[in-house]
């Protein structure tokens, strides 16, 4: 099967997956106690008022009918409107995607070269002091949960020393890049370990492989062998991990968004679920599902380019 046909088939399967996710999300939100009217009424749950809110929101229509309408709209590229504010869901997604993308892209730009560099360095000095230091530091960072690291960094650099802004409250992320420093450190800290460890392991394997030894015997320079022959093979397993990390970052890392006050997709999701704002939750589910499908497809295609044998295209 050609690569193109493989990609097309994967996309078709992806479409089915997205539909399945959206349906599951719809059923799950239906299963949650209370609906948008109950959540909005809050501590003033007069049944008469809840009934009025329900009617005003159109929640008195059968759930399946509402879901069907929403799916129909989706096919035309219409995500529907928020039950609570009446604003188009597309606006919510657009507002939340900006901060999430800024964080995700910058985190990846920092993370990937750094992790590869550390992994390669450690592999080339396997068992040496550099390897040990890199291993200790990255594993140490990996063992700290995001919120704990965030709280410590904020207390130290934001509040005590006042070197960096403790939160991004009300800030324009790209206009005031200083607010991005602490969140990015927190986002990079954990994946740095998993990716650099995979690169290190892959690199050690590759360096010990027959083809690398053969290339050396052919008289190819050591640098060229390392970076043109060994490294691509070594990167293949790490690419899958980068894909998982990308997926995690694009989902809006809720803890980081909450602690640093970055109003991205994660924050919107939490608010929408708390408000039972079903169209917004479904819109986010579509975005998250599409991201997952696309990121994983891209990763597989990339691995195929790097190390054709490691992906079985059947």
Partner 1 sequence: MHPLNRRGFLGLTAGLSVAALTGCGAAEPTSSASTPRDGGRLRAAFAGAGAKEVLDPHLANLFVEAARSKALYDKLADLGPDVSAQPRLAEKWEPDAGLTRWRITLRQAAFHNGQPVRAEDVLASYARILDPARAFRAKSSLALIDLPNSRAVDERTVEFALKRPFVEFPNVLAAFGAYIVPAGTEDFTTPVGSGPFRFVSFEPGKSVLLKRHAEYWEGAPHLDELEFVIANEESARTNALLGGQVEYAHDLTPTTARSHAAGDRMAIHRAPNSAVQAFAMKLDRPPFDNRDLREAMFLLADRAQLVESVLAGSGQVGNDLFGKGYQHYADDIPQRTRDLDKAKFLIRRAGAEGLTVKLDTSTAAAGMVEAATVFADQVKGSGLTIEVVTGNKDSYWSDTLKNGSLSSFRSGAMPIETHVAQRLLSGSGTNVTKWARPEFDALYDQAVSTVDAGRRGEVYREMQRSLHAEGGYLMWGFADWIVGAAPKVGGISTAPANTLDWARFDKVWLG
- Footprint of partner 1 on this chain (CB under 8 A)? 32-34, 38-50, 52-53, 55-56, 82, 84-85, 87, 91-92, 95-96, 151, 154, 158-159, 162, 165-167, 169-171, 258-261, 263, 267-268, 270-272, 274-277, 280
Closest CB to partner 1 among residues 2, 44: 44
Closest CB to partner 1 among residues 167, 209: 167
Closest CB to partner 1 among residues 158, 202: 158
Q: How far apart are CA 194 and CA 131, in angstroms?
A: 15
Whether residue 295 contacts residue 247, with contact meaning beta carbons closer than 8 Å, is answered with yes
Q: How far apart are CA 24 and CA 223, in angstroms?
A: 51
Closest CB to partner 1 among residues 46, 126: 46
Q: Is 88 helix (H, G, I), strand (E, B) or coil?
A: strand
Closest CB to partner 1 among residues 114, 171: 171
E strands, the chain, are none
The b-or-e profile of 103-130 (16+ CB within 10 A means b, else e) is bbebbbeebbeebbebbbbbbbeeeeee
Minimum distance of partner 1 from residue 289's CB (angstroms): 21
Minimum distance of partner 1 from residue 247's CB (angstroms): 22
Minimum distance of partner 1 from residue 153's CB (angstroms): 11
Q: Which residues contact 268 (CB under 8 A, 6 or more apart)?
A: 92, 93, 95, 96, 252, 280, 284
Minimum distance of partner 1 from residue 106's CB (angstroms): 19
For tokens 């207390």, name the residue: 155
Minimum distance of partner 1 from residue 54's CB (angstroms): 8
């Amino acid at each position: 099967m050609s690569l193109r046909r493989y990609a097309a088939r994967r996309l078709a399967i992806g479409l089915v997956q997205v539909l399945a996710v959206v349906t599951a999300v719809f059923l799950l939100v239906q299963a949650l106690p209370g609906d948008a009217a109950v959540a909005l009424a809050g501590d003033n749950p007069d049944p008469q008022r809840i009934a009025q809110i329900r009617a005003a929101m159109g929640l008195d229509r059968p759930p399946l009918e509402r879901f069907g309408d929403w799916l129909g709209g989706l096919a035309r590229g219409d995500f529907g409107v928020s039950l609570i504010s009446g604003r188009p869901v597309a606006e919510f997604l657009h507002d939340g995607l900006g901060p999430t993308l800024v964080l995700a892209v910058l985190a990846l730009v920092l993370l990937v070269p750094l992790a590869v560099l550390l992994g390669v360095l450690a592999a080339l000095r396997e068992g040496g002091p550099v390897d040990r230091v890199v291993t200790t530091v990255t594993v140490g960072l990996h063992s700290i949960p995001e919120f704990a690291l965030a709280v410590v960094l904020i207390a130290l650099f934001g509040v005590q020393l006042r070197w960096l802004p403790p939160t991004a409250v009300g800030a324009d992320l790209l206009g005031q890049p200083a607010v991005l420093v602490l969140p990015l450190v927190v986002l990079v800290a954990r994946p740095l370990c998993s990716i650099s460890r995979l690169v290190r392991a892959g690199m050690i394997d590759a360096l010990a492989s027959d083809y690398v030894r053969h290339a050396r015997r052919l008289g190819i320079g050591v640098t060229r062998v390392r970076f043109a022959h060994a490294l691509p093979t070594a990167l293949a397993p790490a690419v899958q991990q980068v894909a998982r990390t990308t997926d995690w970052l694009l989902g809006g890392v809720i803890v980081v968004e909450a602690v640093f006050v970055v109003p991205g997709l994660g924050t919107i999701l939490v608010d929408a679920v708390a408000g039972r704002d079903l169209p917004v939750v479904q819109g986010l589910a579509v975005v998250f599902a599409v991201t997952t499908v696309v990121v994983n497809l891209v990763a597989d295609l990339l691995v195929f380019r790097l190390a054709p044998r490691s992906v079985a295209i059947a």
